[in-house]
Each structure stands twice: as structure tokens, then as C-alpha cells.
Amino acid sequence: MIKTYKVMLLPNNKQRTKLFECAGVARWAYNWALEQQQNNYKNGGKFLDDKTLRKRLTQLKQTEEYKWLNDYSNNITKQAIKDACQAYKNFFEGRAKFPKFKSKKRSKPSFYQDTDKIVMTDTHVKLEKLTTSKKKNKQKFNWIKLAEKGRIPIGKNIKYSNPRITFDGLNWWLSIGVEEETQQGNTQYSEGIGIDLGVKDLAVVSTGQKFKNINKSSKVKKLEKRLKRLQRKLSKKYELNKIKIEGGEYRYRKTKNIKKLEFLVLKTRRRLKNIRHNYIHQITTSLVRAKPKYVVMESLNTCGMLKNRKLSKAIQEQAFHEFKRQMEYKCALNGIKFILADRFYPSSKICSRCSSVKDNLSLSERVFVCDNCGYEIDRDLNASINLKNYGKSIA
């Protein structure tokens, strides 16, 4: 299977400028391809494939107006055109909405690198045509330092796929796929586990293990308090710097102090996100290292759960989808069977001892009491045991 690695880049100022230029070239090529497709559709023409558009772009490069495109890698524009054609095709086949033009302010800067041209070492990555031919020390300029040493596998037999360079508002990142063999499951452990996700505790395992809600910790609460304070300060800055224009309307002016505050808000949000995701990584890794035969989780309707105004914020902070995503790919890498229980499977209402169903179970009841046999057990633990039994009947 293909495992994706994501590593932060540490470019210098000149390299950072060039990376933004490469992202701008990719954005321009994407928008140009969309414009060609729309004009062709308005004139009654058939769908233009990416080969036809790339030939047109090659002719454009020969003109004086678009000669500047030759200073950048051909693979950047090539893949951007492919992405635009695929987005256009997805719309007409009903898989996605109509593609929009990429904006310099709102779109995420990113571009593609060819798998044959990219060179990896333990500490650096070499990108294709990162500098112009006039640049001195060209070979040295093309190498960008990686934030983590030995993170990405290197070797002659390693096959890379779909390398992308992206900017998240703070740092540049390299994401690249590596083809790896899946590990065989350990037959020593015959029992599987069931995992019940919740708000009070992030996860309750059928073995009785509980993982606390990290959003209730003092560290996360302090960061959330700081984020609220920064957002309040930013809102006041916007109100103080608004300008009245014609028609009685107002236009907001973005000053340097506002940009500094926006950067701090983004930095605090990113730190909160990293803390939550790192905590989930620690939990999922510890569960997979136990080598269970199978793992069972519920297929939660997160969008429907978010409609509850009282619990929407708490549910959003728990990142249930991220937990499921990590468990799914880590189980696949370690040869463990991953099972998603049916969305309407009543795991919380079934008695884990006698299997009778309790229909009138409210959300406030944290202890499950069976009406048939009188068995008392923690509600979440009961649900996780039922999920384990669900997997036993399938596996």
C-alpha cells in the first residue's frame, strides 16, 4: 500500500520567495485551463483533454508575453492543468460542484513536483528548477532543509508518488507517498476490541481502558482563553480602522497591526489543532501496538450531531473523524481488520450480558441498568463491549 509522509520544510528567504512563485505559476495554469474549458463549452465544443491544453500552453511559452513560464518547472503547469481538467470532469459526472477559479488571497498555495526529478536525503530535498539559470550556486540553492531528519525513507528501490509542496499559512510542507508492504497480523492475540467515542471521555475501549477528554485539560483551556482574547482584540482593531465610503457603507482597512494579530490567531489555532491531533496519534498508536485481531468502531453521523447547539462545540473539538481516519490506516498498515459498525446499530441500548434492548435510554443516563437482568455497567463501556461482540459475529 502507499503510505503518505508529511514533513515541514525549512527554506531560507530566497527559497521561500521562489516557492511562492512556483505556487503562483500552478494557480495561474489552473485558472488558465478552467478558462479554456469554459470558453470552449460556451462555443459548443467538446471536452478538452489535458494533452490538448498542454500543447496550447507550449505554444504560449514561445511568445514574448508568456516567456517567463520557462523559468519554472514544466511539471508544475502540467499537473495544474491535469487537476483543472479532472475538476471539470468531476462536475459533469456529478461527483463534485462546479470548479472555481483559485484566488491569490483565499486559495491554499501548492504545487506539484515530478517523482523522477525530486531527490531525497535524510536532511534535505532537491526540487526541480527551483532557481533560474542566472542564479549563482544553483546546485546549492535547489536543496531545501527538512525539519525532521530521516523522516522519509530513501533508497534505490523506494518508489515515490504524488509529491506536493503546500503552504498552510505558517510553514511550507512536503507531502509524498511511499509504496510500502503491509505487515502481517500477529496471530498470538485472538481477541478484538471495540472502541466507543464520546464527549465525556474521548474513547472507551472494551478492555476497560479509558482515554480522557484533552479539551478539559488546563493547557488546552489556557490556549482557548488566549485565542478568545486575541479574536476579541482583532475584532476591535477592525472596527477602529473601518472607513466610510459612498452610500453610507463601510470598508475595513487591514493595517500592519491587524496582520500581526491575524498571524497570532492562526498560530494559536494551529497549536490547539496540533495538540489534539498529537493526543489522538498517541491513543491510536497504543491501541494498534497491542495487536488485536480486529478493531470495531461506530460509523458516526458527525454532521447530524453538530446540529445540537449545546454539544456542537464539544463534538467538533473531539475530532471523531480524525480518530477514525488514523485507526483505519494504522490498522491497514499492521494487518489488523478494521470494522465499521452500522450507523443504526444500537450499541448503547443493548445489554452486554443478556443482549436485551433497552429502548427508552436517555442521553443523561451515564450508567446502563438492564430492565431484563438488572445488570449495571458504565454506559460507554457497555457500548464498547457490544461493538466488540458485533465484530466477533462478523470476523
What value does the mean pLDDT of the chain take? 89
pTM over 0.95? The answer is no
Please report, for the chain, the start and end positions of each structural domain, with discontinuous segments joined by +: 2-179, 193-394
Q: CA-to-CA distance for 283 and 199, rounded, in angstroms?
A: 16
Per-residue pLDDT for 141 more than 80? no
pLDDT tens, 330-379? 998 888 999 999 888 888 888 988 888 888 888 788 888 888 888 888 98
Instruction: Please tell me the distance from the alpha carbon of residue 155 to that of residue 174, in angstroms, as a whole number.
Output: 18
Residues 93-128: tens digit of each pLDDT: 999 999 999 999 889 999 999 998 899 999 999 998
Q: Percentage of the chain with pLDDT > 90? A: 59
The β-bridge relationship of strands 193-197 and 201-205 is antiparallel
b or e along 181-210 (b: 16 or more beta carbons within 10 Å of the residue's beta carbon)? eeeebeeeeeebbbbbbbeebbbbbbbebb
pLDDT in tens, 67-90: 999 999 999 999 999 999 999 999
Q: How many CA atoms lie within 13 A of 57 on its CB side?
A: 29
The per-residue pLDDT for range 18-62, each reduced to its tens digit, is: 999 999 999 999 999 999 999 998 988 888 899 999 999 999 999
What is the predicted pLDDT for the residue at 190? 63
Average of per-residue pLDDT across 234-259: 88
Q: Does the pLDDT at position 313 exceed 70? A: yes
User: Using one digit for the tens of pLDDT, what is the confidence trace for 171-193?
Assistant: 999 999 998 876 664 445 568 99
245 contact partners, CB below 8 Å, separation of at least 6: 251
Whole-number Å distance between alpha carbons of 173 and 4: 13
Band of the pLDDT at 63, cuts 50, 70, 90? very high
Q: Please tell me the predicted confidence (pLDDT) of residue 184.
A: 60
